Amino acid sequence: MCGIIGYTGNRQARDVIISGLKRLEYRGYDSAGIVIGNGSIQLVKDKGGMANLESILPEMKGQYGIGHTRWATHGPPLKKNSHPHLDCKEEIALIHNGIIENNMALREELIQRGHKFKSDTDTEVIVHLLEELYHGNLEEAILKTVARLEGSYAIAAIHAKEKGKIVGARNISPLVVGIGKKENFLASDVPAILEYTDRMIYLLDEEIVTLLKDEVKIMDFQGKPVKRNWQKVEMNIEGAEKSGYEHFMLKEIFEQPDVIMDTFIGANLNTENGYSLNLKPDTIKIIACGTSYHAGYVGKYMFEEFAHVPTTVEIASEYRFSSITTSNPLIIGVSQSGETSDTLVALRIAKKRGLNTLGIVNIVGSTITREVDHVFYTRAGLEVGVAATKTYITQLIALLALAIKIGVAKETLGIDDARYLSNQLRKLPKHVRTILDGSEQIIQLAEEISKSKSMFFLGRNMNFPVALEGALKMKEISYIHAEGYPGGELKHGPLALVTKETPVIAIAVKDQTYEKMLGNIGEVSARGATVIGIGTEGDTELPKYADHVIYIPKVPPLFTPVLVSVVMQLLAYHVANVLGCEIDKPRHLAKSVTVE
């Protein structure tokens, strides 16, 4: 949830750290801080985002240091809760991403021994433990400290007396080392340091790393040395720039034709061998959170239609409480970052139950990719906007491709049918561009509904989870209350809330639910609601029921969620833009949810 960066080398650390923190701000922007080491601890921190920190930042000389951008968990977003935190002697500075589950017990224990706490955070117990356990060697103090900690964490610390040294530790929360020439880096995520190096070492759980400008050492929590080679990262920093768009979110929406094709090519459906897959599950369970959950929910219909595999979808944070299944399903975890804590924990539980696991992930080398039995990569590239757009769309493409492959493997889908579907999938980028090029109508409708206090999104069958995602996008970036419902559920309660002040966005594409959806639209129209229908190109019936119609190109029914979702994204974006909302950084939310 928070962003961590550390630097040691020959440059001025202040500049490197500030640059990295700006690229990590998607992970948290409640507060930010920086420490530079130069024989003493130079600390600047405050509530608010990076713009606020930069406005108060003095000249800071020194060639090593650490920085942090926070998404508040323990304690409100106040200056006193900002990172880095210092020990009582102000010799040790520490930053932390994660949650220390036994922090209250540790805090009480430390207070009894005379420690004075200045913040409400769980993080501060770590720096006080370090203070007690430090006897001239920071690595040894970290090693003893992590033995006392319970929970998820990535930490980085420096000591005023150990010039040029940064020590980090990881348990569950992500941490990556960047290898440079006479300089080394530490960060929560690759983009923070990609400007300086493309050589990375991904730390694993229960590992400690020591960085000097010309040396990197890794050991496990038992103190045993770990040898690991760096990996070259195939990503460029251009993905972190807005490229002329007003917001990252809009840029990423317009990148979707390209990333759809990239994911399609990666799925290898354009070759004869691309349909071969050694997976023939009898059942499938998809586990995910948030937007990824909605993608997984759409995937349920894909697997059942193409592969005839009964599929269930479960919110990852609830999976641990479910009973052990006896049907030996394939467990599919969907996560953009590959670090989503609830999804990671659920997959680990599935592994302990002896189940076959597969991850659909965007980030190569992330924790989920290392722990599952199979990996299916999306190829969305770097996504900066907190509200998922292109990563969600590529998840849908990956699920489509996987469903086709499993269908061929189980012989529920003939090779000719698979080729037809692949050819239709190849056309999706063109269809998405058509929607993007015609977005002027969506901008006008956004103006019209932007003053609403509440909205309903309706869909049926495979487009019900698309309605859920449309509602989520609207509320997370515009702060307008929005709910997604199956069209048939209106009469079971929600209809009581429909008035002329309640716009309804209804997905009424030409599929098996079309006639039923027209009836549902009639129900809300009779209550005076303004209806925006999303229909299939050429449909002349829908305009008789809806006040406005946005058309999508004609595609096979199971491909419609991709195109409808693009419409929903644009509508939410333009409503939020009319309202002047902080679109890329919606309040209280962070990009990568690495705490439970």
Q: If you write DSSP's letter for every residue of 242-297 in order, what string do you get?
A: -TT-SSHHHHHHHTHHHHHHHHHHHHTTTSGGGG--S---S-EEEEE-HHHHHHHH
| CA 289 to chain centroid | 9
All domains in the chain, ordered by first residue: 3-239 (3.60.20.10), 243-426 (3.40.50.10490), 434-584 (3.40.50.10490)
d(CA 366, CA 176): 10
Task: Output the DSSP codes for 82-93.
Answer: PSPEE-TTS-EE
Mark residue 11 as left, alpha or beta (left: phi above 0; alpha: psi -120 to 50; beta: remaining).
Answer: beta
Question: What is the enclosing helix (H) or strand (E) of 335?
Answer: strand 330-335
User: Would residue 591 show up in a list of annotated catalytic residues for this protein?
Assistant: yes
Biggest CA–CA distance in the chain, Å, is 79
For residue 85, give both structure tokens.
């935190």
Helix/strand/coil for 534? strand
DSSP state of 161: T
Strand arrangement, sheet containing 3-8: 41-47, 31-37, 64-70, 3-8, 184-187, 176-179, 199-202, 231-232
Any bridge partners for residue 459, and if so which?
486
Mark residue 294 as left, alpha or beta (left: phi above 0; alpha: psi -120 to 50; beta: remaining).
Answer: alpha
For residue 73, give the nearest of 117, 120, 33, 3 by alpha carbon.
Answer: 120
**pLDDT at res. 407:** 94
**pLDDT at res. 593:** 58
For residue 449, give both structure tokens.
């509904």
For residue 434, give both structure tokens.
């058509």
Answer whether 0.85 is exceeded by the pTM: no
CA distances from 458 to 305, 442, 471 (A): 22, 17, 9
Given a contact cutoff of 8 angstroms between Cβ atoms, the answer to whether 583 and 576 are in contact is: yes
For residue 313, give the nearest of 328, 334, 335 by alpha carbon.
Answer: 334
d(CA 336, CA 330): 19
d(CA 26, CA 49): 10
d(CA 344, CA 333): 8
Helix/strand/coil for 63? coil
CA distances from 266 to 20, 262, 316, 360, 402 (A): 30, 6, 26, 13, 12
pLDDT tens digits, the chain, 596 residues: what are they?
689 999 999 999 999 999 999 988 877 778 999 999 988 999 999 998 899 999 999 999 999 999 999 877 778 888 999 999 999 999 999 999 988 989 999 999 999 999 999 999 999 999 999 999 999 999 999 999 999 999 889 999 999 999 999 999 999 888 999 999 999 999 998 889 999 999 999 999 899 999 999 999 999 999 999 999 999 887 676 666 777 789 999 999 999 998 998 898 888 776 556 666 788 999 999 999 999 999 999 999 999 999 999 999 999 999 888 776 657 789 999 999 898 889 999 999 999 999 999 999 988 778 899 899 999 999 887 788 889 999 999 999 999 999 999 999 999 999 999 999 999 999 999 999 999 999 999 999 999 999 999 999 999 999 999 999 999 999 999 999 999 999 887 777 777 677 788 999 999 999 999 999 899 898 888 777 889 999 999 999 999 999 999 999 999 999 999 999 999 999 999 999 999 999 988 887 766 555 45
Q: Mind spelling out the 3-state secondary structure of 107-159?
A: HHHHHHCCCCCCCCCCCHHHHHHHHHHCCCCHHHHHHHHHCCCCEEEEEEEEE
Place of tokens 């309202």: 579
User: Would residue 116 show up in a list of annotated catalytic residues for this protein?
Assistant: no
d(CA 384, CA 251): 10
**pLDDT at res. 489:** 78
d(CA 97, CA 100): 10
Query: Catalytic pick from 2, 47, 289, 300?
Result: 2
